[in-house]
Structure 1
Amino acid sequence: MKKIVLVATFLFSLAQISAQKIGVVDTNYVLSKLPQYKDAENRLNTQISQWQSDLQKLQADYERKKEAFENEKVLLVGDQLKLREKEIVDMEANIQNTIGARFGTNGEVNQLRSNLTKPYQDQIWNAIKTVSTKNNLGIVLDKSNNISVIFLDKRYDYTEAVLNLLGKSTPKVEESKDNARPGVKNNDNRSSKDRMQKRAASFDSAKEMRTK
C-alpha cells in the first residue's frame, strides 16, 4: 500500500512539474543594458586599477630592495644583517597581506562587487517576478549562470521582457546582445587580474596552512 502511495505521489509531482511553464532569463545581459550599473562598474574597475598600480609599486620596491640586499649581504654583519633581512621579510609579508586583503576570496574587490550588483539584482528579481506572474511561469532559469541550454525556443526566453520592464525607467543603450556582456576587459587587464587572483589564492592557502 505504501509503495502505491509513493508511486502515486511521485507521478502527481511529475505531472505538476511538467505542467509548469519554464522560462529563461539572461541576467548578465540585462545588467549590461542598465546604464547605472555600467557607470558603477566603471568606478569599480577604476578602483581595481588603482589598487593594482599600488601593488605593482610595492612589488617593484621590494625587488629593488631585495636585489640591493643580495649584492651587499657579504658586507653586512651582526645586527645590521638582521635588520636588512627583516626589512625584506616584512616587505614581502606586506605584499602578501595586501593581495589577500584586496584580491583574496573575501577581499575588498569581491565585497565592492557584491555591494555594486545587489541593488540591480533586486531590481531584476522584482522584474522577473512580474514577468513570471504575467506569463504563468512556474520555473525561471538564469542562462548566464553556467546553465547548459542545448536548445531554447525563443518564445521561452524572457530576457527582453524583463529588460523592457526595467527599461521603462532607464534609457536605452545601443549595443548588440552578443557584445554587451558586463565586466569585459582588455587582455592586459585580464592577465593582470589573473596574476592577482593566483597570488591571492596562494596567500589564502598559505594562511590556511599556518592556522592548522
Structure 2
Amino acid sequence: MRRLLLISLGILFFASHTFAQKFGYVDTEFITSKMPDYAKVQQQIEQNTKTWLAEVEKKKLSVEKLEKEYKLEELLLTEDLKQQRLAEIQAKSKEAKAFENQVFGEEGELFKLKQAAYKSILDQISKAIEKVVRAKRLDFIFDKANDGLVLLYTNPVHDYSDYVLEELGLELDPNLVEKAKKEEAQEPKSPKKN
C-alpha cells in the first residue's frame, strides 16, 4: 500500500512538471534606462516639446496682449471697431487652441513623434524578448514596469479563443485558421520532457 502511494505521488509530481507552464517577467523601464538610444530619443522628444510649448505660450501671450489693448481702448472705440477687435481676439484665440491641440492633442504631433521614435526601441526589446522566450522555453512574459502587469508575450499554443468561439456556435474565419496553421508550423517545436 505504501509503495503504491509513493508511486502515485511520483507520477503526479512528474506529470505536474511535464505540463507546467513557465512564466517570467521583465522590467521595461529598467531595460530602457540602460539603452543609449532611448536616452537620445528622450532628449529629442523633450527638445521638441520645449519648442512647441514656447510656440503655444507665444500664441497665448499674443491673445492676452490683444485683450489688454482692447480693454484699454474699449471706451474710445466705435461699435464697429469693437466688433472688429473682438473678432480678431477670438480668431487668434481659436488659432492658439487649434495649434495646441494639433501638437499636444490625442493624435497630435507629440503623439506621432513619440510613436515613431520609440518604434525601433520597442522592436529591439521585442526581438530580444522573443529570443529569451525561446532560449528559456517560457510560455508567458509580463512587464512589471506598468501599474498592472502587462502581458508582452504568450505562447500561441495556450490560445483557446477558437474553442470559445466554437462553444459559442460562432464560425472561424477560414483565412485566419489557415494563417494560424502556417504560423504554428513555422514556430520551432520545443522538445518534450520525459
Which residue does the alignment assign to 1:90? 91
Deviation string, structure 1 residues 23-67 (Cα, Å, up to 9, x no partner) = 001112211211122112201110110110111111112111101
Distance 2:109 2:121 in 1: 19
- 1:140 has 2:141 as partner: yes
1:156-167 alignment runs, 5 A limit: none
Q: In the alignment, is the contact (CA less than 8 A) between 2:143 and 2:149 conserved in 1?
A: no
Q: After the TM superposition, which segments of 4 or more aligned residues of structure 1 sit over 4 Å from their partners? A: none
Deviation string, structure 1 residues 150-207 (Cα, Å, up to 9, x no partner) = xxxxxxxxxxxxxxxxxxxxxxxxxxxxxxxxxxxxxxxxxxxxxxxxxxxxxxxxxx
Which residue does the alignment assign to 1:22? 23
Q: Secondary structure at the match of 1:19?
A: coil
Structure 1 segments unaligned to the other structure (5+ residues): 1-14, 150-212
**Aligned-residue identity in percent:** 28
- 1:121 has 2:122 as partner: yes
Q: In the alignment, is the contact (CA less than 8 A) between 2:104 and 2:110 conserved in 1?
A: yes
Structure 2 segments unaligned to the other structure (5+ residues): 1-15, 151-194
Which residue does the alignment assign to 2:61? 60
Which residue does the alignment assign to 1:172? none
What is the root-mean-square deviation of aligned Cα atoms in Å?
A: 1.9
Calculate the TM-score normalised by the size of structure 2.
0.65
Larger gyration radius, structure 1 or structure 2:
2
Moved more, 32-41 or 88-97: 32-41
* 1:96 to partner: Cα distance: 0.8
* 1:148 to partner: Cα distance: 5.4
In structure 1, give the amino acid aligned to 2:61. A
* 1:78 to partner: Cα distance: 3.3
Calculate the TM-score normalised by the size of structure 1.
0.59
Distance 2:127 2:44 in 1: 25
Aligned residues: 134
Q: Secondary structure at the match of 2:139?
A: strand
More contact order relative to length (CA 8 Å, sep ≥ 6)? 1
Which residue does the alignment assign to 1:101? 102
* 1:107 to partner: Cα distance: 0.6
Q: Secondary structure at the match of 1:145?
A: coil
